[in-house]
């Protein structure tokens, strides 16, 4: 994994894997909930209509139930697309910020050994290098 010290690569890999697993589990759960909620909103008596349409072979009831289900899926997938776009934008911004930080650090000259000396406070409140 680029940008991660070798001694921390195992921890970083575990965090990445955990985040992916949690994201998938939550994503499926949330999108399914949205889909079912929209479907139920579009067709309040969905179970009754589906049961009745199957028993009587009513094409209009089947079409209504199909339209409600399609609406639920469409809404959930639209929300997923928005989240995907937002995630891509955030990722691009984070990667760009990391590259700018690396460029800035590479352009900054190394500090001289004198500036790395510890600084202590004097008894009068001033600062001095040791």
- pLDDT at position 101 is 74
List the structure tokens of 23.
């994201």
Q: How many CB atoms lie within 10 A of CB 61?
A: 20
Who contacts 52 (Cβ-Cβ below 8 Å, separation ≥6)?
Answer: 58, 61
List the structure tokens of 101.
């930080």
pLDDT per position as a tens digit, 84-93: 999 999 999 9
pLDDT per position as a tens digit, 23-54: 999 999 999 999 999 988 887 766 666 666 66
- pLDDT at position 126 is 56
What helix, strand, coil percent values describe the chain, rounded to 5? 80, 5, 20
Percent of the chain with pLDDT over 70: 68
The domains of the chain are located at: 7-129
- pLDDT at position 67 is 85
- pLDDT at position 79 is 94
The dihedral through the CA atoms of 73, 74, 80, 83 has a sign that is: negative
pLDDT per position as a tens digit, 5-28: 888 888 888 998 999 999 999 999
What is the reported pTM? 0.58
């Amino acid at each position: 994994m680029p940008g991660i010290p070798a001694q921390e690569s195992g921890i970083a890999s575990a965090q990445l894997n955990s985040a992916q697993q949690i994201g998938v589990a939550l994503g499926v759960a949330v999108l399914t909930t949205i889909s079912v909620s929209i479907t139920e909103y579009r067709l309040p008596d969905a179970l009754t209509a589906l049961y009745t349409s199957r028993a009587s072979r009513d094409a209009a009831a089947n079409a209504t139930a199909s339209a409600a289900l399609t609406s639920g899926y469409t809404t959930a997938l639209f929300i997923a697309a928005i989240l995907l776009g937002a995630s891509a934008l955030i990722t691009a911004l984070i990667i760009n910020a990391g590259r700018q930080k690396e460029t800035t650090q590479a352009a900054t000259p190394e500090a001289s050994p004198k500036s790395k000396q510890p600084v202590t406070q004097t008894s009068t409140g001033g600062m001095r290098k040791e």
